[in-house]
Structure 1
Amino acid sequence: MEAHTHNLDSGWSWKERDFGVASVLDEVPSRATPEALPSTWASAQAFPSEVHVELLKAERIPDPFIGFNEHKVQWIAEREWLWLSSFPFSSRGDNGKVELCFEGLDTFCDVYLNNRKILAADNMFRSFIVPLDVTTLQDQNNQLLLHFKSAKKIAKDLEEKYGRVRAGSTNLGDPSRVYVRKAQYGWRWDWGPELMTCGPYRPVSLITYAARFSSVYPRAIVSHAPVLSPLLKVDIALAGVLTAPESARFILRNSRNKTVIREEDVPLSISYHDREKLEINDAISWDLRDLVELWWPVGYGKQTLYEMEVVLLTQDSNVLDRQIQRIGFRRVELVQEPLREPDQYGQGSTFLFEVNGVRMFMGGSNWIPADSFLTELTPERYRAWLTLMRDGNQNMVRLWGGGVYEPDIFYDICDELGLLVWQDFQFACGVYPAHDAFVASVKAEAEDNVKRLRHHPSIALFCGNNEDYQQVLQWGGIGELPARLIYESVLPAVVSELTDPAIPYHRGSPYGGKGWDTADPTVGDIHQWDVWAGRERPWQEYGQMGGRFVRRVLIRLLESHLVDECSLLPSEFGIPSIPDIRTVNYWLAENEDQRWAQSKLMAQHNRAGNHERRFAIVMNENFRLTGDLETFAHL
């Protein structure tokens, strides 16, 4: 029996929870097919999906990105929502295993199978695998019900239980968000709207198997420079009904032309005690000198990739399972060592990346979720944005901590384009808790995502949080940061234990200096917002406002004067702007009376603090003033 994954991506229906019905199970007619459901159920137009997306496609809500419509859809976050589907199951009578896999449930979701509760999910960033009792499954019409509760209400309940904390300014959402493992931008941010959605936003599948790989970790190891010798080791973990003798076949191919580079069958020694679960480290160890090429960031060499296929075989060479992962051979290090000589900021240490023995200039962008509704993103949209970065001479993307861990396709594209990835864990601008249940959930979340991402050659750094240390220092009056336990103990331990070769870990962004002095330009990285916000200094002073995360900036002024600042600039900085006038025209719609830079509708679509006054300052200092919106947006 070969392992099979059946995607449950069709036949879904959804509805709003009716609290006039005592039990959520009573909202589902017994053994009803999608065609026989009451009219209160609507057919899902897509899957995976989210409630806002379904409501939009059903024309039950206005476009929240137009005009003031954002305010008209806030009720959605206060309600509860149901998704329903059914699937057949054919038992093959061979003592096989069956599991349901949920790759992403946003966020508080009770899952029922045939009227029996099998899961209570409470973390958007986790995947959940639920073993099923085969005897409870029917040949046809196994009903799967997903009950999504209001994260907004639950967050307030948790705040009532644990206490109100600080979590940024009012344009960074309600502080209760820190108690919920959900994308923080959903509560609104200074760059986006408050659109707190829910739903099965990543795939749901049914897995059947006799024995399968529960984990395959190809460890592409490169020795220290100048030798840079490539070595491949593979760790595997098995689950199911394991019977000896069995073997695993390892095949390494060039990802581009599929040429087989090396292949080996390895017998598996399975004892009586291992018959349900088995872990084997270093199942193979291959010296690949002269057989493979190194992977390089864009601008430094080729992005050579390889496919590692692992096949689980029975004694009769029947296939039980197979997995393929794409890898690249590279060595990445975060170099923090004392400066040989003091610079303009004094003595301190470096903060730079070294790949394959080469210390590199890092120029890049911070990445926020590219859509408020994650299921609307396609591989084509991801590729277009990331290709734009590469073509703009960028070689690193930082995934910001108030969003999500992106899907696999994002990191696949980064591997192909040669973009290094700085991956924040998902914490942003808040005093997060550290009670036992919260820490346990975060630990499981970190393990899920580190295991999922660690084989990508583009992953250069895992970072504990975005601006949590900095926010505490800026506000003052906060005696402790409970989540230091997470940033300084739990997360680094997960990264250390699960990555080999080791992927660097940094406690936070920004982080460095004595007593977490996140503004210290001599240690770690900094976020420099004293041009747009803070002290509101002229942008021409960027060259004197840097830190140890180095970027060389060439600034071309309108008068074609070239300023070469050789600047030390931070991991986060910038100035917000009005978007292209075509985007402005889209959200203005029929509201022509709002077509001016300081109108209420323009403010509705720009959450940056005091943006009207700050835009005016920057415009006044650098351009002729204008009342024309098109010219204002262009400048």
Structure 2
Amino acid sequence: MKKNSLIVAFLSLLCATGLFAQNRYELNSDWKCRSIKEEKASGEDISSPSYTLSGWNNAVVPGTVLTTMLANKEIPDPFYGMNNEQIPDIYKTGRDYYTYWFVKNFKGEQPENGNQVWLKFRGINYSCRIYLNGKLVNKEPYEGMYLRKSFNITKLLSKTGDNRLAVIVFPPDPVGNPNGGQGGDGTIARGVSHQYVAGWDWIRPIRDRNTGIWDKVYIEKTGCVNLSDPHIITQVPGKRTPEGKQSEALIKVSTEVENASDNVVSGVVKFSVEGNVISKEVTLDPNSKQTVSLPVYKMQNPRLWWPSGYGEQNLYKSEISFEENNKGISDSESVQFGVREIQTQWNPITSSREIHVNGQKIFIKGGNWIISDAMLRFTPERYDAEIRYHRDMNLNLIRIWGGALVERPEFYEACDRYGMLVFQDFWMSGDCNGRWLDPLKKEDQWIRRNYPDNHSLFLECAADMVKMVRNHPSLAIWCGGNEIAPPDDILTVLRDSIITKLDGTRMFFDFSNTERMSLNTIGGNGDGPYSIQPLSVFWNHRTWPFNSEVGSVGVGDYESLKRFIPEKNMVLPVYHPNEKPNETADSVWTYHTYTGVGYEGFLEPYGTPSDIKDFCMKAQLVNYDQYRGLMEGFSSHMWNWYTGVIIWKTQNPWTAMRGQMYDYYLDPNACLFGLRNGSEKLHAMCSPVDGTLMLVNNGFKACDNLTLTATWFDMDGKSSEITQQSTSIDASSSKKLFSIKKELDALAKEKGGFLRLQLMDESKQVLSENIYWLADGTGKYSGLSRMNKAKLKVSVKPLKAGKVEVTLSNPASNPVAFFNRVSVIDKKTGERVLPVFYSDNYCTIVPGGEKKIEIECNTSSKSRQVITVAGWNVELQEIIIPKIK
């Protein structure tokens, strides 16, 4: 009997859970739109189901006016060539040009028995009026890009079940003059929205300023009580390790509970996780809302969440529900969370902040992120790919730059999965918000420091965004703005009230390069350099001890450029060593942010590029070297100079030609793999300054009984061992061994060559391999241009659907097979399959060596896929991927 009761209870829980899962759905298709220049009817008329929509266009929702126009082929792709110049800019057309009606018909009858129906918006840019079935829904203004809104539409639903929703969306005001400044003339910052849309040094203006219903729209059905914004806090006392049995963790749960009925309602708020339930009885006044806090749950032996490279990203699925007395579940919310605690500590040696997770200090290796797509075309699949790339670069943090937005829940879900800590800025930038004088800005520096115009709206949006993402374990740091703090009245409330009361678990920095994070001991702005550097700079020149922005080059390869540069513009940039700027490039290149300094002559040591393909190949050599050298240099000074470094930047939300590890189309370039190498958890490296061999250990455990070998390979492939050393390294540290500079100088003097470092454990398993190519005594890579061809042996083995193993073997009689790019190609189109995830790439294989690369990609295409391999001195090979037997 007891067993049957349990089964019935379990089935009832499943039914209730399924019921409420089905009672929330997204309005994401079959929308119609029309410009207000074409449609003069009132919202009451347009939202009447009988009003004809003949002649209206299909609309993209979630989306913007521009994404809708692009889908309807009214504009060319603004990311290709100079197409963006063909699209009218809102500053010249006026706001009415991009003010649109968006209309959606949907089914839904008025519920009975006190049940409620809610219309929910997750983001509209910039302001709107909402109508349903001839009635105005939002009696109060709805404005601000970052504000979610929920409306009880129970009484507005049609009795027939045929409903029409009509939303008129107005652009930001002012829209800003895109005059070439960072954020144009700066006035875009007077509103509470993203600033980059008026143009920046890495993007051209977005012509409609991303006006539209840009984020999700939901219909949700509940009982008379609605739950919203549940909050889960996890506390993990002490210093933990990823392995072994864990001491208990404390779980604190609260939720907002709204009684939408005219009656007093009593019931129970419950939190359920893995069969454990905590609850609290509550009584709710009519038409009231309150926050309910449950008793603290002591979780035994919790599975902890760790940043990537330090442990597993364990996640728990939970449910918070309200069960009305004698009437069953009124509403429930599913919440996924990770058990971890973020702490910070001041490092007096570096004079900067350390980030700790579960009591362990983490050396921060991060990337700056703007936004996934500049036109707000967000998908879970794209988020997943981009965050996975960051994980694959052996990074552990992503900083969300302040000129964009608080990232979407789907972004944070991907960061939770892949172990990326997140440093989240609010919506300020030094450029627009008055950090300095700027002749391109319309208003005085001190006027700009008081942007935005509506401080209360900024704070309302900030509070709402904190509620939206605070349950994600990946969220680590809040920040008031990029390179500038908000106005004092905003800052005080944001820091001392909103963050404290609505979160209370994370560090808040006033601005991204504040001295509360990183003390100014060297002068300057606290960030940079941003351009290509001699590798010695990263090792020998001390920057701020927690550098929030430092970066270099990032032009993609030839296949990448072809996707957005017209063939006639695939023109080789010309280097002028004695002029400033020292490079001239085609106007389309310049439009896509190829800067006047470009590669600054760093390609010349490889020989002046002969054509565009040669340019792109040599650019990848510099890309790889730059980002490996950057992370190696910072890691060599971990805990004595630095506690963290965040690269500016790791991705581009449009087709730009700088600061990216992969292009807009998700095609990785050599930057990604150079960074992956230099950032690996346990790493052997050689200083370009003095030839010192070093080890870096990012792990929590010391590594003993290690053997480091340094081997030289000349341009013919002949090898000679320079040294073999038994060694060890403490946890979370870097260690200098000894210099081999004299040996390297002598060996490289004539033609240059290759240095291979291998770090092995006592069973001779290679834990780290790092291959450098060295210039000759004059600083040129003269030997590379005269290398003999190396014919690699390539084999391809399918492991499972979507996963193959490629083995590259270099016969012992060969020279070094240098810098080989592996790609997955669609045989029918001849184009790369994207995205694709490689365990390594741009690989160098020494004579007698072998490299296994695991590749994961989508194999749903009916066309056969092939593997291609080509390198500096390796001819192109194509191998069809065998079918799984």
Output the TM-score relative to the length of structure 1. Answer: 0.80
Cross-structure match for 2:500: 496
Partner of residue 32 from structure 2, selected from 13, 19, 22: 13
Partner of residue 563 from structure 2, selected from 578, 586, 609: 586
Q: 1:197 and 2:197 equivalent?
A: no
Alpha-carbon deviations, 1:315-349, whole Å to 9, x = none? 2361211111111111111222533xxx6xxxxx2
2: CA distance, partners of 1:525 / 1:225: 35
Q: Structure 1 residues 24, 625: closer, same or farther in 2, change over 3 A? A: farther
Q: Would the aligned equivalents of 2:197 and 2:205 in 1 still touch at CA under 8 Å? A: yes
- Mean CA deviation greater in 222-231 or 307-316: 222-231
Q: 1:360 and 2:362 equivalent?
A: yes
Helix, strand or coil at the partner of 1:591:
helix
- Mean CA deviation greater in 573-582 or 419-428: 573-582
Q: What is the Cα deviation at residue 88 of structure 1? A: 3.5
Q: What is the Cα deviation at residue 629 of structure 1? A: 2.2
1:143-182 matches, within 5 Å, as: 143-151=164-172, 154-155=174-175, 170-182=181-193
1:310-329 matches, within 5 Å, as: 310-316=320-326, 318-329=328-339
Helix, strand or coil at the partner of 1:468:
coil
Partner of residue 596 from structure 2, selected from 612, 622, 628: 612
Partner of residue 543 from structure 1, selected from 539, 556, 561: 539
1: CA distance, partners of 2:413 / 2:212: 25
Helix, strand or coil at the partner of 1:53:
helix
Partner of residue 89 from structure 1, selected from 102, 105, 108: 108
Helix, strand or coil at the partner of 1:382:
helix
Cross-structure match for 1:297: 307
Q: Structure 1 residues 144, 362: closer, same or farther in 2, change over 3 A? A: same
Cross-structure match for 1:31: 49
Q: What is the Cα deviation at residue 519 of structure 1? A: 8.2
Q: Structure 1 residues 279, 493: closer, same or farther in 2, change over 3 A? A: closer
2: CA distance, partners of 1:186 / 1:493: 30
2: CA distance, partners of 1:277 / 1:70: 47
Cross-structure match for 1:280: 292
Partner of residue 134 from structure 1, selected from 155, 164, 172: 155
2: CA distance, partners of 1:601 / 1:585: 12
1: CA distance, partners of 2:465 / 2:523: 28
Amino acid at match of 1:602: W
1: CA distance, partners of 2:115 / 2:44: 32
1: CA distance, partners of 2:75 / 2:180: 29
2: CA distance, partners of 1:370 / 1:296: 24
1:399-548 matches, within 5 Å, as: 399-428=400-429, 429-431=431-433, 432=448, 434=450, 438-468=454-484, 483-500=487-504, 502-512=505-515, 520-521=520-521, 526-529=526-529, 532=531, 538-547=534-543
Q: Would the aligned equivalents of 1:528 and 1:546 in 2 still touch at CA under 8 Å? A: no
2: CA distance, partners of 1:42 / 1:306: 43
Q: Would the aligned equivalents of 1:350 and 1:524 in 2 still touch at CA under 8 Å? A: no
Alpha-carbon deviations, 1:494-551, whole Å to 9, x = none? 1111114x111111111117xx9x882479993112x52xxx864531334444545x
Partner of residue 588 from structure 2, selected from 601, 612, 622: 601
Q: Would the aligned equivalents of 2:180 and 2:199 in 1 still touch at CA under 8 Å? A: no
Cross-structure match for 2:58: 43
Following TM superposition, the consecutive aligned residue runs of length 4 or more in structure 1 with deviations greater than 6 angstroms are 522-525
2: CA distance, partners of 1:591 / 1:492: 56
2: CA distance, partners of 1:331 / 1:29: 49
Amino acid at match of 2:528: Q
Q: Would the aligned equivalents of 1:214 and 1:237 in 2 still touch at CA under 8 Å? A: yes
- Mean CA deviation greater in 192-201 or 358-367: 192-201
Q: Percent identity?
A: 22
Q: Would the aligned equivalents of 2:121 and 2:215 in 1 still touch at CA under 8 Å? A: yes
Q: What is the Cα deviation at residue 355 of structure 1? A: 0.9
**Can you give the 5+ residue segments of structure 1 that lack an aligned partner in the other structure?**
160-166, 254-259, 344-348, 470-481, 551-569
2: CA distance, partners of 1:586 / 1:194: 20
Helix, strand or coil at the partner of 1:587:
coil
Identify, as 1 or 2, the structure richer in helix. Answer: 1
**RMSD (Å) for aligned C-alpha atoms:** 3.1
Alpha-carbon deviations, 1:480-501, whole Å to 9, x = none? xx7243335424531111114x
2: CA distance, partners of 1:142 / 1:329: 43
Q: Structure 1 residues 76, 145: closer, same or farther in 2, change over 3 A? A: farther
Helix, strand or coil at the partner of 2:374:
coil
Q: Would the aligned equivalents of 1:17 and 1:82 in 2 still touch at CA under 8 Å? A: yes
Helix, strand or coil at the partner of 1:170:
coil
Cross-structure match for 1:393: 394
Q: Would the aligned equivalents of 2:25 and 2:219 in 1 still touch at CA under 8 Å? A: yes
Q: Structure 1 residues 488, 626: closer, same or farther in 2, change over 3 A? A: farther
1:244-283 matches, within 5 Å, as: 244-253=265-274, 260=275, 262-264=276-278, 266-270=279-283, 273=285, 276-281=288-293, 283=294
Q: What is the Cα deviation at residue 600 of structure 1? A: 0.9
Helix, strand or coil at the partner of 1:421:
strand
Amino acid at match of 1:312: F
Task: Choose between structure 1 and 2 for higher RCO, CA contacts under 8 A separated by at least 6 residues.
Answer: 1
Q: Structure 1 residues 134, 26: closer, same or farther in 2, change over 3 A? A: closer
2: CA distance, partners of 1:169 / 1:427: 19
Q: Would the aligned equivalents of 1:434 and 1:485 in 2 still touch at CA under 8 Å? A: no
2: CA distance, partners of 1:244 / 1:493: 31
Helix, strand or coil at the partner of 1:528:
coil
- Mean CA deviation greater in 538-547 or 393-402: 538-547
Q: Would the aligned equivalents of 2:557 and 2:616 in 1 still touch at CA under 8 Å? A: yes
Identify, as 1 or 2, the structure richer in strand. Answer: 2
Cross-structure match for 1:476: none
* Greater C-alpha radius of gyration: 2
Q: What is the Cα deviation at residue 178 of structure 1? A: 0.9
Alpha-carbon deviations, 1:29-69, whole Å to 9, x = none? 85346xx4221x1123x431222222222111111122211
Q: Structure 1 residues 617, 176: closer, same or farther in 2, change over 3 A? A: farther
Q: What is the Cα deviation at residue 95 of structure 1? A: 3.3
Q: Structure 1 residues 316, 58: closer, same or farther in 2, change over 3 A? A: same
2: CA distance, partners of 1:208 / 1:485: 39
Q: What is the Cα deviation at residue 202 of structure 1? A: 1.2
Cross-structure match for 1:477: none
Q: Structure 1 residues 218, 274: closer, same or farther in 2, change over 3 A? A: farther
- Mean CA deviation greater in 240-249 or 310-319: 240-249
2: CA distance, partners of 1:98 / 1:191: 44
2: CA distance, partners of 1:75 / 1:136: 38
Q: Structure 1 residues 274, 25: closer, same or farther in 2, change over 3 A? A: closer
1: CA distance, partners of 2:591 / 2:421: 35
Cross-structure match for 2:344: 334
